[in-house]
Structure formats: structure tokens, C-alpha cells
Amino acid sequence: MRVCRVVTIPFFVWHHLRTQIHATIAAGHEVHVICSDGPEFERLRQIAGLRLFQIDIRRRVSPVRDVFSLIRLYLHFRKYRYDIVHSVTPKAGLLAMLAAWLAGTKGRFHHFSGQAWISQRGFVRWAARVSDRVIVRLATRCYSDSYSQRQFLEEEGLAPAGVIQVLGDGSIAGVDLDRFNPARLRPLRPRTRKSLGIPDEAALIIFVGRVTNDKGIREILAALDVVSKTLDAYLLIVGSDEPRIEALSSKQLAVLRSHPRIRWVGYSEEPEHYIAASDILCLPSYRESFGVVLLEAAALGVPAVATRIVGIIDAIKDGETGILVEPKNAADLAVALTRLIKSEPLRQKLGLAARQRAENRFRAERVNALLLADYARFSDTPP
């Protein structure tokens, strides 16, 4: 079949869909990708057999640009006559599903990966909810990357029961266990820590993701102040801030850049090296689709402390592979981090269980095979 994947930014394709695209090409399908320009766009050209097209799809609402993008998508779909158009991310989903419907594309697939409108109010929240409802109506297949997100969408009245599917145990494309391999990366731990100025005996907490308040940065900083008063602990932040979407305050930025117990390395192409050098992953997000970084840490045997919210509750088994805390609760977060820092046996126990769960349920090969089998069912050919 001829399959077109549509997302807003190339970052998402490079970091979350790469193994799935490789698997789809290896299965004999012709794969095209449409996304906006970005630092990772040229890297996508490295994927053998992939055809890449640039159409500007803004993450924020921009009526004139959005209409222009919709027209370009429609004309593109009419030209290439895809068997399946498969979108991920909200804006790409709305524009791609509408354009594919107008173009008469039979296979219109969308993967829900979180709802930004959860933390929004007023017209923006209403419009985003309407957008999700339209996507469900236009798509011939809908997926969610977690069971709790599917339940949430159904309870919110955005999708009828049974319409949204989940591949296996969840996630969009699973985790690459070859890349996130503790046997390969753990021996590099001393060198990585030395480069950061982190003592070998200190506890290292790591955060990986967008450095914004909706990811829980405020709570992480408050919890670190409590923990570091009595324990030898450091915080490593891997990710960039996003001033155009949610700017941190000048005070927060000053703390992140000057705190003696914080190392902020910015965006990294190889976050696995930093995760493998850490003892605990911390993700106190207010909203999340699934939290792929939780799977990546699990694959490396690193236990996580994260919030008890939709999506994350599928990625972590509380008390078995990590610890869940209440969102926006710095005190609760500090207690959980302290508990893990003080008990190396508990960290090892949770980390081992997390690794086994990632191997058994979230291996990229398993999740991608389930998607390809669904593609085959749609086309009435044997998988």
C-alpha cells in the first residue's frame, strides 16, 4: 500500500515514529511523510525508502495559514492517491483527516497522543474539543496510545465506546530496546557523570522533556529544595524550554541555570546516555499522552516517579515499576523521591520490574507489528 504519515513537526517523526516507519517500509509498503520544517527534517532523509514532503502545519491556531495548509494537503492527497493517511498530533490530525476525507482517501487513520486542551479554558478549550470530535467523525480508524486516554475521550463524549483502539498495551510505537540497552549504556555511567560534575555516590534525578510548567518544572524545583537539604542529590534536566508556547519566568530560568544542584544540558540527540547515568526519572506532568520517556527509562532499568494522571497510569505500575504521586503536589513528590534515594534495594527492585515490563509489553517490534496487522486487515490482505 501507499501510506502517508502526517505530523506537525519532524522532531516527532525522528524520535517517536522512526522504528515504525522502518517496519512499514520493510513490510513492503510505500511510505511518505508530511511535516513542517525543523532541525530534524534533513535527518529524515537518511531513512532509506522514505519520501519526505514539507507542508507547514503550525501547532498553534493560525486561521489563514491553517486554511492554506489544508488546501496543500488536499491537493497532495489528490495527486498521490494514498491507501492510508495516518496522522498523529492534534493539528495534523484535524487538517489531515479533513483533507483526506475531501480527497476521497479510503483509509483515514488518526492516533490520539494527548489532549493539550485539558489545561486550557474558554474558547481555545472548546475549539480543541470540537477538533477532537471532528477527527473521530472523519477518521475510519482511531487509535489511542493508552487505555486511560481512550476511557477519558469516551467519558468526555468525544468518541463513542469501542471506536478508539489501543495497540497492545499502549504507546504509539513502543520502545527500541536495542537503543535503550542497559548492558551497552550502563558502563558509560561514570564518564557521563564526570562530564556533568556529578559525584559517583550522589543520587541523580533526571527529567527529560519540554521544560515547561505543564511538565511539572515548578514542582521539581520545589521538591529538589526539600530533598537536597538532607540528601546528596542532583537534578539533571534534558530538554529545551519553549518560550513561544509556555515561557518560564525569569526567576525559574535563573534557578535552572545557576542552582548548584542542577545541571541543564538542553536538548540532546542521545538522552539514553543521560538516563543510564541517572538513578531516578522524574516526570510530574500535569497532562501526558503516555510518557514515552517512562518506557525509555524502564528499558534502561531506571525507576520513575511520575504523576497519577491519564496516560502515565498505563506506563507505570504504582509500587511495582515506579511511584505515582498526585499532580501539582511538590510535597508528595519530595516524599517519593526521598524514599527512592534512601533505598537502593527499592530502586533496583522497581528498575528490574520496569525493564521486564518494557521487554514483555512495549517492545517496538510488538507494537509496530500490531499496527501493520491492522493495516493489512484494512486492505483485506493477509498480514
In 248-353, beta strands by DSSP E: 262-266, 280-283, 304-307, 322-325
CATH code reported for the domain at 2-174+364-378: 3.40.50.2000
Contact between 92 and 57 (Cβ < 8 Å): yes
Residue 359: how many other CB atoms lie within 10 Å: 14
Element (H, E) at 293: helix 292-299
Instruction: Return averaged pLDDT per consecutive 10 residues of the chain, 383 residues in all.
Output: 96 93 97 94 94 91 90 98 96 96 97 78 82 96 95 93 95 96 96 96 96 93 96 96 78 92 94 97 92 96 97 96 97 98 97 97 97 92 48
Distance CA 222, CA 238 (A): 18
Fold match, 2-174+364-378 / 182-361: yes
CA-based nearest residue to 158, from 129, 124, 138, 119? 129
* Alpha-carbon separation of residue 268 from 79, 154, 272, 274 (angstroms): 37, 36, 9, 9
> What confidence score (pLDDT) does residue 205 get?
98
The architecture (CATH level 2) of 182-361 comes to: 3-Layer(aba) Sandwich (3.40)
Give 333's Cβ-side CA count (13 Å radius). 27
Instruction: Supply the DSSP symbol for 248.
Output: P
For the chain, the structural domain boundaries read: 2-174+364-378, 182-361
pTM over 0.85: yes
